[in-house]
Amino acid sequence: MNRAIEKEQRQESILLSLKKLDYLTRSQIQVLHGLRSARNAQRVMKELETYVSHFRDGENVYYLNSEGRERVNATKVRKKTIQAKHFIMRNSIYIGYGSPSTWRNEIRLGFKEEKKTRVVCDALFQQDKRYHIVEADHTQKMSKNRIKIEKYKRLIELGFFETKPCFIWITTTEFRRKQLTKLLDGLDHRIFTVNDFH
């Protein structure tokens, strides 16, 4: 294949990843797009600077700028924000689970008529005909996590899911992992910390 076409396709696929995942670190882009070395990934992203902006948070964190959004028809405006960590944590799960094709972000679950049980998960995907619900616990108060988990338990009781879902949480510390383990007791779950992905 012509080198120029290959380069164009790679750039397009990186921009589409940013459209889908909002923020990606240099190392996440490297893994997702098979850019062998950190140096190679830096070079590729430098060539994309017309379409992406970045800031440092341990390493470069990239997001689409207005030209990038226009090129891949993205509507969500992203800026430099401390909230980016939340998205990056969620994306670690996306990459860790092999970039599932059924992956969708920010999905509202629950029955329309039962407002009390409605909940928005950070991401959702299907594997082996079963839903996997992803939650990134970055700076969330544990009481908020408790409320969310109670809603999930209620949805299971009410038969919202055909098969009981698997809950995948990513958090920041071992202490928070222990707290979440207690809260998720009785549910099928996996809890990771950010260090599990470095």
Unique residue bearing structure tokens 């909002």:
22
pTM of the predicted model as reported, rounded to 2 decimal places: 0.91
Element (H, E) at 30: helix 26-32
* Residue carrying the six token digits 């594997």: 127
pLDDT tens digits, one per residue of 117-158: 899 999 999 998 899 999 999 888 999 999 999 999 999 999
Kindly report, residue by residue over 22-69, the tens digit of the pLDDT.
999 999 999 999 998 999 999 999 999 999 999 998 899 999 999 999
Hey, what CATH topology would domain 3-78 get?
Answer: Arc Repressor Mutant, subunit A (1.10.10)
56-78: pLDDT as tens digits: 988 999 999 999 999 999 999 99
HEC secondary structure over 61-116: EEEECHHHHHHCCCCCCCCCCCCHHHHHHHHHHHHHCCCCCCCEEEEEECCCCCHH
CATH of domain 96-197: 3.40.1350.10
Q: Where in the chain is the domain with CATH 3.40.1350.10?
A: 96-197
What residues have CB less than 8 Å from 2, skipping those under 6 apart? none
Are 15 and 76 spatial neighbours (Cβ–Cβ below 8 Å)? Answer: no
Residue 44 in tokens: 């590729």
- Bridge pairing between strands 52-57 and 59-64: antiparallel
Q: Are the CB atoms for 72 and 15 separated by under 8 Å?
A: yes
Q: Range(s) for CATH 1.10.10.10 in the chain?
A: 3-78
Q: Sheet of 119-127: strands edge to edge? A: 104-109, 119-127, 130-137, 166-171, 189-193
Cα–Cα distances (Å) from 41 to 28, 33, 76, 148, 185, in that order, read 10, 9, 24, 38, 41
pLDDT band at 2 (very low <50, low <70, confident <90, very high): confident
